[in-house]
Structure 1
Amino acid sequence: MAEMRMIDAVRAAITEEMERDERVLVLGEDVGR
């Protein structure tokens, strides 16, 4: 398993879920940075 920073893992998970389900909405501070 590849190692990655926490922010990269969160970003990858958000991207994966948003591609899988168009109803996903992410709200929060610094989202997408």
Structure 2
Amino acid sequence: MVRVDGRKPDELRKVKITRNFTKYAEGSVLIEAGDT
């Protein structure tokens, strides 16, 4: 089975983590998973 985005059933979406995302919130992060 291949998914619409081309991933195999055992593949995860690409994950991107951006540290210090918000200027005034110490320890803030933005986590993006795939196209969501």
Structure having the higher helix fraction is 1
Structure having the higher strand fraction is 2
Normalised-by-shorter TM-score class: under 0.3
- Which structure has the bigger radius of gyration? 2
Give the TM-score normalised by structure 2: 0.17
